Every structure is written in structure tokens, then in C-alpha cells.
Structure 1
Amino acid sequence: MGAQSSKKKKKRTTTKDTFGKKKEVSNKRTDVERGEGGNNIVNMASATPWIKQDINIDNDMTGAAILDNGRLLISKNGTKSLLLMTEKGKVLSSLSLGDYTWGIKMIDCADGAVVVQNECLQFFTVTKRGILKGNTLNVPVLFDFVFLDNFYYIGGDKKIMVHDNVLCHERDIPVSDAVGYMTNRDDTSLCYTVWGRRNVYCITTDGMPIFTYTHDTLRGTVGVTVDQEGYIYVCGYISKNVHQLNHEGNLQRIIFDDLPERPYCISFNRRGDLALIGCIRKILLFNLT
């Protein structure tokens, strides 16, 4: 036999993810994987104890919100409708909207709006009986909007349209690309993605740039949101992962580098104890307490 190599083999472990597929995971992470916060990638195997529900759906979902009572609002692009569901996936009510639906935002505990692409913001109210259709703001919105400090910031083609709380147009904020999904970082700034790119942009509500985030492991940026502690989350549709950024726009950690489906959106409830990742045909609901 030949002489033994003096090089030590990297220690590896084998774990099993939520969906039963074995995957090799190195015990040692690179600096890029660890991020500036020094935390490892969170994969599906390590997140298993926090998964409250794993719901399969039969059409593309492109937006979601968690209500205070734990029920879910789902934007189903494939059926051009808005669904009210229990946390176990039972459909309680639906609202047909006639065209492709995208981002959802709750304005208060019962009232919200959903984007109908290139047509309008469709307002609605959630009651015990289901979803009631409300006013319509006809505006060339693409994918998403933000309600902040009594103003609606509505993503359009190379602009963010600003309307007041009685839906009167105030002004436009020019941007360099068509606006994808949106969130507010705080009371004075917005974050948005450009559909299918690699970037997340942060600007003031006056349009001044704050930061641009990009990363080699983030591809196909879509949904973006902020949690109660101010961390920013962005979904990589092509890279099938979620990046967590700090308030300054630096990578904190990569969450879920092995999602079973391509993620469109991520949402938290107002108490911060439930999180939802909406994938193309799957809803993952996490209990954070």
C-alpha cells in the first residue's frame, strides 16, 4: 500500500431535510455563507422544529399576508384570485379579480389591498363571512405597493407613484428600472427589488439612494419584507433562498439555501410570532416562539 496522505479530510455530516431527501452538509462554512453576522446558513433540516404547517397549493402564488387571527391571505396568480385560508390550508373564501394578482398588504387588522397587474390596487375587507370587495384605485401598478405614514407608494415602470390616504395622486419618484416587490425599511425609507435581477434597492421616501445590495448567491430577486426588529428579507426566486440583511443593507445570514420550491414572498404577522414563506406551489408557515 502507498503512503497515507498527510492531508486531513474535511469532516462532513449527513442530515435529512424536511421533505425526506438526504443532503450532505459541511460543518465548515465559508465567509460568504456565514455573512457579516457570523451565522451559518439556516437550512430546512435545522428549521424543522419551527415549521408549523407545510401546505401544498395547486397554482402559482405571488403574494401573502398573515392576519391577526392566524388566517392567511393568498394571492393566486394562476387563478387570478385572492384566497382566505386557515393556517392548515382550508379555503374559507375567495375573491375573483379578473387578472393576474401580485402583492398583498394589510393596512390595518381587517382592511388591505392587492395588486391587479397593470390595472389597479383592489381594496378589500376581511370579515367573518369572507372577503368583501372595496374601492378600486386605477393606476398602472406592476407588482406591489407600500402603505406608509398615510401615503401609498405604488411600484410602476421606472417610477414609484405616491397617493395620499384618500387616493389622490401627489407625486412620482423616478427610479432606474421597473419596480418589483416593495417594503418600508422604516418610517422614512423604502426597499424594492427589480423583477428577476440580483439587486435590492433602498431609497428615502424622497427618492434619495441609501444602499444597493447584491450578492453572488442571490438570483432572481422578488419578494422583500422587514421584520419587527428591522431586519430585511429578500427572496431569490432562481437561487431558491432567502437573504437576511441588517438595517444598513449588509448580509446578516442566508436563510434556507435548500427551499423545496422557488420562493415568491415572505411575510410576518404583526406580533412577530409567525412567518410565512410563499413558494410557487407551497406555503411554509413557521412558529417563531
Structure 2
Amino acid sequence: MPLKLAIISPCVSLSGQRFGLAAINLIAFCVRPKAMSTQRSGHLERTAQEPRDESLLDVRLERIDQVNERIRLYRLKLESGPIKFLAGQWLDTYIPGNPKPGGFTLTSTPRAAADPKSPYLELAVQESPENPPAAWLWQSPSDITGSKLQVRVGGSFVFPPSEIPLNDISHVVFVAGGVGINPLVSMMGHIAEEGYNLEVKVLYASKLPAQGLKGVLFLERIRKWFTEKELIGDLKVFTTGIYDGHIESRELDVHERRFTVEDVKEAMGEKNNSVVYVCGPATMTDEIVDGLARDGGMDKNRVMLEKWW
């Protein structure tokens, strides 16, 4: 059977679905480009066939946090009240004065957006001067905090998967390279908050920023879910770059190398009950997908691939 392939920009959500408890290993792949393209191939064009909500939402840029030298976190207050979305979805993001939206993955959980008192959305955006919406978001925080934006939810790279019953899943394997962690952290947070009966394995590869492991995007958030038993399973971190982490890695399983297909196979467990979500650079995802399908005998229906251009 053919590999499931969704061609998308940075990741979205489908509203209003409900799923029961289940256990499974899930493999999904999200391929990101080195940079967002220009007018020739914008976010709307790349995602034209993707599901998206009809209405635009009013949000206010409430908070900006610097994660490391290349990545910022943005908290968007939902001015129009609570909304529903699916973990893994993205936003069409309209900045002031630009009729063309940027596409940015939601990193917060559906529950955060549904909070009746203070609903919000969260984005993690990497510095990208050639991408106008990203460049606007990378202005001085004092110049843009409090600004009003409009956003719209979209995308089909989601957890729980739309075509596999959650009752048929016992293990979920998340494989992330760099900012490919973005849609996956929303999915992990959703699993943690909803208490799904799943074993979760995370393989996260990242270049080390200047701050060391403390500056790796979402690493502390994920570590906390495991140490506080909100996620059951394990987290492995694969680093490249100069690393001296004898203190900061005390509670982390850190490997100073790239992960391989064999690492993913080892994490999968029983293939028939597993799903694997993979998101990262194209070379990484291609290697993992090909290896699992060819050497691992993985059912391609359990391999979800999202490709960003």
C-alpha cells in the first residue's frame, strides 16, 4: 500500500474530533525546508489541499520568550474565546500590513486553547529573515508585544491519527530533528494532559545551542513530563556540536551522535501496535522512512509523512 504523504507548511489542526483511550506505536514524518520560500511558492499555495478552518481568529501577541540564539516562543491570547484544534496542527498567521500569511506550527496543547478563562496558543519560530512573517516576529519584543494578529487553524498531521483507531495503538514513537520537534511537542503534551494509556518513546536530535542542553527547544518541558510520570516511556537526546554536560544531563539519556534507523526500530516495540511520528530535515526523514519500510517491515499505514516545502 502507498505511503501516506501530506504536503504541508509548518503543521495544523482539525477541529471537533474525540477519541477514547488506546495504546499504539505511531510513526509520522514531518519534513521541513531549510528556509521558507518566497512569493513563488508561499504557505497558502503549499497548503492549498490541506484542511483548514473557515474563520479567522483574533489574537494578541501576549508574550515573547527567547529560547536560544535562533528560536523564540510566542504566546498568543485568544481574544475571541476558546477554540478547538488537534495536536500537531498549524496556523495561517497574518501579521500587520501583509496580506499573505506565514505558516507556523502550534506547540501548545488543545486543552490550553479550550481554557474558558485564559485560552491561548503557542508558537516556536526560528529566525528566518527571508520569510516576511517570521522576520516581523523577530523584531524587538518591545516593538511588537501587544500587537493584534489574525490566525486560522489548519493541517492534517495530527495525533490521534485520523485513520487508525486509538484502541489499536499501545506505543507511540516520536522522532524529531531540530525544530521538527514543534508539532510533536503538542502531541506529547496532549497525551500527557489527557492521560492516554500509551507507552511513549522520544528520540530527539538537536545541534547544541550556545546555552547547551538548557537551550534545546522544549527539552526541559519534555523531560519534566517523563520525570513527573505524565508520560510513561523514555526520552533519548542525540546531540551534535561541542558538549560538556556532566551536570546538566544528570537526568537525561544523552548520546553524542546522530540517531539511526536501528535506534528507531529498538524504540518501536511490537510493530502491529505501534505508530511512529517523524519530523525533521528531509535527509533524516527519508532515511528513517526507507529503513523502517525496507528493513523493519513496518506497515506503511502506520507511517505518516508530512512534507514541508
Which structure's CA Rg is the greater one?
1
Structure richer in strand, relative to its length? 1
After TM superposition, the score normalised by the length of structure 2 is 0.30
With structure 1 as the length reference, what TM-score do the two structures score? 0.32
